[in-house]
Structure 1
Amino acid sequence: MAAEAARSDEPLAVGDQLQLFLDDHLIDSMRGVELKLHSPRPAEIVIQMEKPWEDQTMYDPVVLKDGDRYRMWYRTNFNARPFFTGYAESADGIHWTRPNLGLIEFRGSKENNLVWTSGTDGSLGCVLSVFQDGNPNAPAGERYKAFATRITEKAEECGILGLVSPDGLRWQLVQPDLILRGGAFDSHNLALWDAARGQYLAYTRGFGNGIRLIRRAASNDFRTWSELAFVDLGDSPVEHLYKNAATAYYRRPDILLMFPKRFLPERKADPKWPYNGLSDIVFMSSRDGVHWDRRFMEAFLRPGPDELNWHERAIEVGQGLVPTGQGEMSLYYVEHYRTGSVRIRRGVLREDGLVSVHAPYAGGELVTRPVVFTGKQLAINYATSAAGSVRVEILDTGSKTIAGFGPGDAAEIYGDQPERVVAWKQGADLSGLAGKPVRLRFFLKDADLYSFRFRAE
């Protein structure tokens, strides 16, 4: 308790950085409110199995926003080698096309959207995890990088291959040998550039005491990696987790997110289905990439009323969370796996809307740890009912009200806005408090608070 109290009193230098409520990092105390996990709203189907090189095992989408384009790579097939990776693109993240690339041969023709093949023996790898390399030292020919998973009959030959590309379409191996090996890799093994810490990260499948878990490794050059080690999930209950969908949050790249597929091998909803197990999607976050907060045990994405999502691997969230409109962000997930209607669907969330501080009609409050900020205004991302409200009080480090910023001075805020400037009777100017440690007390009634940030005018 003493260590926790000391942590609460230590000021956080937040500057003008976006602040999220994914965990208790910012929180000193809560009364009558809770952290609430929000689920994506199912939107349109963006890719449906329809090409000869696509089969019922189409899976593992990866989506990036690259300039004014949205780009997707996905596994087209897994029933028989060779395994292919397909490519699609979109101007808005909603309407997608498969361009004719002329790169990879399928049944004697290159008239297709394929960008990689495993080869007939699987030695070139499959199930690509593509990312745009933000490393300032990366050469132009390696602007895009990817993992390809080599799956063969010989266990010692299985592992991760590294790929590089100047454009995300034309790929080559960084070396013929594996860059990661050891243990099980029969999943979507993910790579990303961790800009906040200046390193490449790998999140792969692993087994611990017979349980499917997630492993991590790091690299400075994408060629040489640290030993794979299991991520730290704290004291959360042990469950089968894989297909982790690790991604950096585009509005706070130092915060990493995962949307793992939770697998329950002992359950079966359809007695006629040939395989045991059920799946849903869970959520967790990390501020260092090693220690992951899994306080939300409920599903982030349920199978829902669609019976074809109630079997062992029917749904999966792919890698990538991208902005798709004003105050909106999207992820992409697979439905109906192993069926003739397998497809990729878009899921929609409010920007910053993964987790909120939620207050019922009776109301409640949250007090932050001391923060030191830069800027002149406080802006909040919030939503209330017509009867709800948000008010903000500013306190000193001793939790005493700073004159002019008390609850009676605070404007009552109601509505639904992604960036509302907070004001008091004397106005919204906070420049006199910038650089000094202060606490914020949020009074909420029938409201959700998603994020806040200090900003210049």
Structure 2
Amino acid sequence: MVAAVGTTLSAEEPIELNGRRELFVDKALVESIDGSAEFVLHPPHDEGEVFQFDQPWEGLFCGYATMIHADGKYRLYYRGMPKAFSDGTTVESTCYAESTDGINWTRPELGLYEYDGSKDNNIILAQLAPFSHNFSPFYDDSPNADPKQRFKAIAGTKRTELHGFVSPDGIHWTKLQDEAIFKDPKGAYDSQNIAFWSEAEDCYVIYYRYFVNGRRSIARTTSKDFVNWTDPVYMSYSNTDSVTPRNHLYTNQTQPYFRAPHIYVATAARFMPGRRVLTPEQAEEVGVHASYFNDTADAVLMTSRGGGEYDCMFDEGFIRPGLALGNWVSRTNYPVLNVVQTGPDEMSLYVNQEYGQPSSNIHRYSMRLDGFASVKSRGEEGSITTKPFTFTGDKLAINFATSAAGSVKVEIQDADGNPLPGFTLDEAPDTIGNAIDRVVRWKEKGTDVSSLAGQPIRLKFVLDDADIFAFQFQK
């Protein structure tokens, strides 16, 4: 839970919201919060194991996985590594699985690379060390992307720096060029470095591993063409006000949220070296490799809207290890890159668990759409008021949930905080229920807010035993 922000309304230039969906995962649009209202993180629900790394070319040390939902198909990419070796050897390969629902998975026999005398496997990259160590693909949403390069990837270690790869179908990959596309003297890269096309920033973005003050941290760079990159920006963190995170951030898993791509959501792995939980006897019981039970890890949620800072408002565990002993070991509970939609009202986050064990697998965790966090009020009424903004559209939709006795009321104010006639709290009936996309109405005005489009306004949400997750002005 997060404490309230200040309650004094400020005069500032209105934010151009247009028709963007806004989530309550940060305070970017929040002017004040009052009463019992508070920000709350909503950890996802464990739906159980959906994929086990049980093939001979996969094994105990599969990891650095990526989920891509494109063209009506879910695609899972991951490192195959059946033996414990140093980073970047030919023991590692890159594997591929696919699904129509994000729950039931198949390994297509692709016939591309030989393992143990057979090509009947799902390996898409092999014998190209060190690039299978952390091969990290993405679907290129750029309107100018070459269809022959619709899928792109980055990979590499300190020895090679970061190289680019391209593919027309996400299965057949070639190097973009012989030399690295990005170099940073401070870059470590010995983790899952990630890239994506940013609609909001109109460029490609890479978030990658480096060390600062002995701690695993994150840097970023941008490019217009995926070849020429800007000087590094070493990320800072709102809970430290420095470039040193509070804990080791092993992977960053930063991604544009698919329903609000101007908001980057980072489901980062938080690593706690030397924080041992299991006894040697317990380690033997779960079958974890002898080198992999002296540390612990979980996942945290951070956000960014571009630039050089992560918002760490929710400085708490997002995915906890839980009851299974096998998740209280080193380098486990690492989220798969990308949250994807898996139902009309549901999205899923996948997590690599029981690392270094014969039972190494991926679990699926479910959330409501937009449901990373909310502003909630319990016990007594609370309210949240936005900064001034302009919008386009003719109706306001909210993602919210109330109890049977609870409610949400919405008031529209002018830029100075004065209630606008027809849109006051007295003219706002209680909004009750649980919906991803409920259109708000007022007693006389109905749902039509088009008369206010283009002029600076504020929204005030009054909550009674209710959560508000997101809002959007729509046409």
CA shift in 2, pair 1:7/1:343, >3 Å: farther
Distance 1:220 1:434 in 2: 33
CA shift in 2, pair 1:376/1:140, >3 Å: closer
What residue number does 1:163 align with? 165
Q: Which amino acid aligns with 2:439?
A: V
Q: Is the 8 A contact 1:382 1:416 kept in 2?
A: yes
Structural mapping, 1:278-297, within 5 Å: 278-297=296-315
Structural mapping, 1:300-315, within 5 Å: 300-315=318-333
Distance 2:50 2:44 in 1: 15
Alignment gaps of 5+ in structure 1:
none
Report the 3-state secondary structure (helix = DSSP H, G, I; strand = E; otherwise coil) of the residue aligned with 1:308: helix
Give 1:166 shift. Answer: 1.0
**Equivalent of 2:24 in 1, 17, 21:** 21
Give 1:395 shift. Answer: 1.4
Give 1:103 shift. Answer: 1.0
What residue number does 1:410 align with? 428
**Equivalent of 1:36 in 26, 29, 40:** 40
Distance 1:16 1:65 in 2: 24
Q: Which moved more, 1:48-57 or 1:266-275?
A: 266-275
Q: Is the 8 A contact 1:361 1:388 kept in 2?
A: no
Percentage of pairs with the same residue: 39
Structural mapping, 1:360-379, within 5 Å: 360-379=378-397
What residue number does 1:91 align with? 100
**Equivalent of 2:227 in 219, 223, 229:** 223
**Equivalent of 1:442 in 438, 447, 461:** 461
Give 1:79 shift. Answer: 2.6
Distance 2:189 2:11 in 1: 41
Is 1:453 the equivalent of 2:472? yes
Deviations 1:193-224 (A, max 9, x none): 11222211111111001011011122222223
What residue number does 2:153 align with? 146
Distance 2:231 2:28 in 1: 29
Report the 3-state secondary structure (helix = DSSP H, G, I; strand = E; otherwise coil) of the residue aligned with 1:439: strand
Q: Is the 8 A contact 2:238 2:313 kept in 1?
A: no
Report the 3-state secondary structure (helix = DSSP H, G, I; strand = E; otherwise coil) of the residue aligned with 2:231: coil
Q: Is the 8 A contact 1:377 1:422 kept in 2?
A: yes
Distance 2:80 2:188 in 1: 22
CA shift in 2, pair 1:325/1:8, >3 Å: farther
Report the 3-state secondary structure (helix = DSSP H, G, I; strand = E; otherwise coil) of the residue aligned with 1:408: helix
**Equivalent of 1:172 in 147, 171, 174:** 174
Q: Is the 8 A contact 2:79 2:132 kept in 1?
A: no
Q: Is the 8 A contact 1:117 1:126 kept in 2?
A: no
Report the 3-state secondary structure (helix = DSSP H, G, I; strand = E; otherwise coil) of the residue aligned with 1:391: strand
Alignment gaps of 5+ in structure 2:
1-6, 284-289
RMSD over aligned CA atoms reads 1.9
CA shift in 2, pair 1:8/1:322, >3 Å: farther
Distance 1:138 1:58 in 2: 31
Distance 2:9 2:405 in 1: 38
What residue number does 2:65 align with? 61
Give 1:44 shift. Answer: 3.3
Q: Is the 8 A contact 1:391 1:444 kept in 2?
A: yes
Q: Which amino acid aligns with 2:397?
A: A
Distance 1:361 1:139 in 2: 55
**Equivalent of 1:389 in 407, 410, 413:** 407
What residue number does 1:197 align with? 201
Distance 1:141 1:269 in 2: 48
Give 1:82 shift. Answer: 2.8
What residue number does 1:251 align with? 259
Give 1:125 shift. Answer: 4.4
Give 1:256 shift. Answer: 1.0
Distance 1:124 1:230 in 2: 24
Structural mapping, 1:336-355, within 5 Å: 336-355=354-373
Q: Which amino acid aligns with 2:27?
A: D
Is 1:47 the equivalent of 2:51? yes
CA shift in 2, pair 1:103/1:378, >3 Å: same
CA shift in 2, pair 1:90/1:380, >3 Å: same
What residue number does 1:187 align with? 191
Distance 2:9 2:437 in 1: 32
Deviations 1:251-298 (A, max 9, x none): 111211111111111311013154422111011111114221011111
Distance 1:302 1:228 in 2: 32
Deviations 1:145-200 (A, max 9, x none): 111224xxxx6x24222111111100111122222333322111111111222211
Distance 1:291 1:11 in 2: 22
Distance 1:41 1:400 in 2: 41
Distance 2:131 2:390 in 1: 51
Distance 1:17 1:359 in 2: 25
Distance 1:159 1:34 in 2: 44
Distance 2:404 2:132 in 1: 54
Distance 1:379 1:134 in 2: 26
Distance 1:289 1:249 in 2: 16
Size of the alignment, in residue pairs?
Answer: 447
Give 1:451 shift. Answer: 0.5
Distance 2:403 2:428 in 1: 19
Report the 3-state secondary structure (helix = DSSP H, G, I; strand = E; otherwise coil) of the residue aligned with 1:112: coil
Distance 2:319 2:102 in 1: 20
Give 1:320 shift. Answer: 0.9
Q: Which amino acid aligns with 1:231?
A: M
Give 1:128 shift. Answer: 1.3
Distance 2:10 2:145 in 1: 38
Give 1:232 shift. Answer: 2.0
Give 1:414 shift. Answer: 1.2
Structural mapping, 1:428-439, within 5 Å: 428-439=447-458
Q: Is the 8 A contact 1:44 1:345 kept in 2?
A: yes
Is 1:109 the equivalent of 2:106? no
Q: Is the 8 A contact 1:201 1:219 kept in 2?
A: yes
Q: Which moved more, 1:178-187 or 1:284-293?
A: 178-187
Q: Is the 8 A contact 1:55 1:79 kept in 2?
A: no
Report the 3-state secondary structure (helix = DSSP H, G, I; strand = E; otherwise coil) of the residue aligned with 2:56: coil
